[in-house]
């Protein structure tokens, strides 16, 4: 699919169709009807695909990506800033920003239709640009895109995902809010209970204003996201594992609290329920907490969770596959720890046999340990310390990171060893 003709899903509707239905079976439509139809037409219209429409090419050069880099620049400097302006113009046209509570918004419906037409074209171009960057030819091979700068496939894929979140989560909500404002304003003109309807109009206006503010905030965030370094984007992908580790730590801490009440929805067989928590699971939970805390410390060292600038950058020649490996390692560590926690929560007040529970936990801890070992190797290989922070007498970045993480690794090995020994002791007893 060529770039010049690329649109996506229902967004290929022609401009003629935008204003084609000016009449109904009962006669000409009102301007309110036309605005509501335009908003309904745009709501849920812009469809996103996840299917690549071309094979990956491992021989692409930066010159081959020229058109994609132009589209990326258009997104950053034209499409997204224009979207912000159009949203602001839409608020003005609908009189949503007016300060007067009475008589309420006085929408300019002709101007609203004109702005919605422009916004529709902007959204079509924005969505098609995201799809073109991430899914259409020329498509880099994730193993061989280290030299493609902002056209690396991992960057384009994340950008498309961010565009989808903006449109589906924010823009659609704004369109619905604007629809509500228009409909309530129309009802206000012929309603007997004006006071009641007035409050509904004001509420819908406030909701539309909040939605528009959120849209513009997300547009600014998306522009900044597209301009981020590879490392900064990687750090964004580490935020969900960080949040999950926080939740896991809370769950394990609760397990060690004798006053912690069971979750009734977790216990599958109520007849197997115990009054008191199982001491063995409590002991294992206590021994798992240091591992969770160390996993959080590692993630904090690698990201900006401490709100301090990290003392390293990514190697400029890193490819998308390597970035994905750095992302997935942290995700896997958090998910595996959460898996153990769920098993313990489900069984800490039951009479289920302990052996399969601890067998599973033992296997998961071994898997986490292997993931961490591999992850540390990747870190040492791909992260480059800032020159002024290289340790004295250490000229190799790889040796620098091995030395930097050595104290952490010692604590990790001790914590893992103690947990595995405890699990083995319970397996022997049972």
CATH topology of 31-227 equal to that of 233-261+274-428? no
* Peptide bond preceding 103 in cis form (omega within 30 of 0): yes
Contact 323, 230 (CB under 8 A): yes
Supply the pLDDT for residue 6. 44
Give the predicted TM-score (pTM) of the model. Answer: 0.84
Reported as a single tens digit per residue, the pLDDT across 223-232 is 999 999 999 9
Would you place residue 199 in the very low, low, confident or very high pLDDT band (cuts 50, 70, 90)?
confident
Reported as a single tens digit per residue, the pLDDT across 25-61 is 555 678 888 999 999 989 888 888 888 878 999 999 9
Would you place residue 197 in the very low, low, confident or very high pLDDT band (cuts 50, 70, 90)?
low
Higher pLDDT, 203 or 323: 323
Reported as a single tens digit per residue, the pLDDT across 62-100 is 999 999 999 999 999 999 999 999 999 999 999 988 755
Reported as a single tens digit per residue, the pLDDT across 353-404 is 888 899 999 999 999 999 999 999 998 889 887 766 555 555 566 666 777 7
CATH number of 31-227: 1.20.1420
Q: Tell me how crowded residue 360 is: count the other CB atoms within 10 A of its CB.
A: 14
Domain ranges of the chain: 31-227, 233-261+274-428
Separation between Cα atoms, residue 321 and residue 141, nearest integer Å? 9
Q: Residue 146, SS3?
A: coil
Supply the pLDDT for residue 134. 96
Burial of 320 (0-12, 13-18, 19+ CB in 10 A): buried
* Peptide bond preceding 300 in cis form (omega within 30 of 0): no
Higher pLDDT, 235 or 189: 235
Supply the pLDDT for residue 101. 59
Would you place residue 190 in the very low, low, confident or very high pLDDT band (cuts 50, 70, 90)?
low
Question: Which residue pairs, CB below 8 angstroms and at least 24 apart, start in 255-261?
Answer: 255/281, 255/282, 255/285, 255/341, 255/344, 255/345, 255/348, 256/282, 256/285, 256/286, 256/289
CATH number of 233-261+274-428: 1.20.1410
Supply the pLDDT for residue 5. 43
Six-digit token string for 329: 């390692």
Supply the pLDDT for residue 49. 81
Reported as a single tens digit per residue, the pLDDT across 139-163 is 999 999 999 999 999 999 999 999 9
Average predicted confidence (pLDDT) for the chain: 84
Would you place residue 277 in the very low, low, confident or very high pLDDT band (cuts 50, 70, 90)?
low
């Amino acid at each position: 699919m060529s770039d010049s003709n690329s649109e996506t899903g229902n967004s290929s509707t022609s401009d003629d169709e935008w204003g084609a239905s000016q009449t109904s079976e009962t006669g000409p439509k009102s301007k309110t009807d036309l605005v509501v139809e335009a908003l309904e037409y745009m709501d849920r219209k812009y469809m996103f695909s996840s299917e690549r429409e071309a094979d990956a090419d491992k021989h692409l050069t930066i010159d081959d990506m020229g058109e994609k880099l132009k589209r990326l620049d258009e997104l950053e400097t034209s499409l997204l800033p224009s979207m912000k302006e159009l949203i602001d113009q839409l608020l003005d046209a609908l009189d949503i920003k007016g300060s007067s509570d009475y008589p309420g918004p006085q929408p300019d419906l002709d101007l609203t239709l004109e702005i919605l037409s422009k916004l529709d074209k902007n959204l079509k171009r924005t969505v098609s640009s995201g799809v073109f960057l991430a899914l259409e030819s020329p498509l880099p091979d994730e193993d061989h895109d280290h030299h493609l700068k902002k056209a690396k496939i991992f960057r384009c894929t994340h950008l498309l995902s961010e565009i989808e979140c903006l449109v589906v989560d924010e823009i659609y909500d704004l369109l619905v809010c604007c629809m509500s404002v228009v409909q309530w304003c129309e009802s206000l003109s012929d309603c007997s209970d004006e006071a009641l309807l007035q409050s509904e109009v004001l509420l819908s206006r406030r909701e539309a204003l909040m939605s528009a503010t959120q849209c513009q905030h997300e547009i600014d965030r998306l522009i900044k996201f597209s301009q981020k370094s590879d490392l900064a984007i990687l750090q964004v992908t580490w935020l969900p594992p960080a949040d999950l580790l926080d939740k896991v730590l809370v769950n394990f801490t609760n397990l060690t609290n004798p006053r912690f009440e069971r979750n009734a929805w977790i216990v599958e067989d109520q007849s197997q329920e115990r009054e008191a928590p199982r001491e063995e699971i409590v002991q294992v939970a206590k021994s798992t907490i240091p591992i969770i805390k160390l996993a959080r410390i590692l993630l904090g060292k690698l990201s900006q969770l401490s709100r301090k600038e990290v003392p390293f950058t990514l190697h400029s020649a890193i490819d998308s596959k390597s970035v994905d490996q750095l992302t997935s390692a942290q995700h896997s560590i958090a998910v595996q720890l959460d898996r153990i926690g769920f098993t313990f929560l489900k069984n800490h007040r039951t009479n289920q046999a302990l052996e399969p529970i601890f067998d599973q936990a033992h296997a998961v801890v071994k898997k986490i340990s292997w993931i961490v070992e591999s992850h540390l190797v990747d870190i040492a290989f791909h992260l480059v310390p800032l020159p002024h922070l290289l340790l004295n007498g250490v000229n190799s970045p790889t040796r620098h990171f091995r030395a930097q993480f050595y104290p952490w690794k010692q604590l990790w090995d001790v914590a893992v060893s103690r947990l595995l020994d405890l699990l083995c002791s319970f397996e022997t007893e049972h």
